[in-house]
Amino acid sequence: METFKTAFYWLSYAYYLYVFGYASLFKVFQKKSMMDSMMSLGFNKTWTILIGLGELTGVILIVAGLIKPQFRNMGILLLIPFSVGAFTAHMAHQEYQHYYNSLIVCILTVVMLALDNNFKIQL
């Protein structure tokens, strides 16, 4: 069971990096399709780039987490508002083609933090 948890964690980690990696770079480098999509959601060019930079910061922290695990958790925590925001925006605008990635990333955020031995929440 421990092997399954470890494998699931690292597969989730890779998927998380994939989704946020391309989304952040498309925003920062202003790919036309991403800019048009963000414009349809009500975000102008400045906000789109700022969102992309925030996501890119989270991605960099997650990659740095390969060396220092606490950076991985900081990156995941930084990306929570972006994943929830994307889920909410895509649902509100009925963009179901983007709905699944944002839903999966929201779920994986909680799962990855729960499976990480370096992350604890005490109540």
* pLDDT, tens digit (0-9, with 9 covering 90-100), for 30-88: 999 999 989 988 899 999 999 999 999 999 999 999 999 889 999 999 999 999 999 99
Q: Give 94's DSSP letter.
A: T
| 2 — pLDDT class (breaks 50, 70, 90) | confident
How far apart CA 27 and CA 4 sit, in angstroms, is 34
In the chain, the percentage of residues whose pLDDT exceeds 90 is 69
How far apart CA 96 and CA 92 sit, in angstroms, is 10
Catalogue the long-range contacts made by 90-97 (C-beta closer than 8 Å, 24 or more residues apart): 93/40, 93/41, 95/37
pLDDT at 120: 79
Q: Packing angle between helix 32-40 and helix 45-64, nearest 10 degrees?
A: 110
Q: Give 121's DSSP letter.
A: -
Residue 97 pLDDT more than 80?
no
Q: Which residue has the higher pLDDT, 47 or 123?
A: 47
Question: Do 80 and 109 form a contact (C-beta atoms < 8 A)?
Answer: yes
| 95 — pLDDT class (breaks 50, 70, 90) | confident
Q: Which residue has the higher pLDDT, 62 or 92?
A: 62
Q: Which residue has the higher pLDDT, 121 or 40?
A: 40
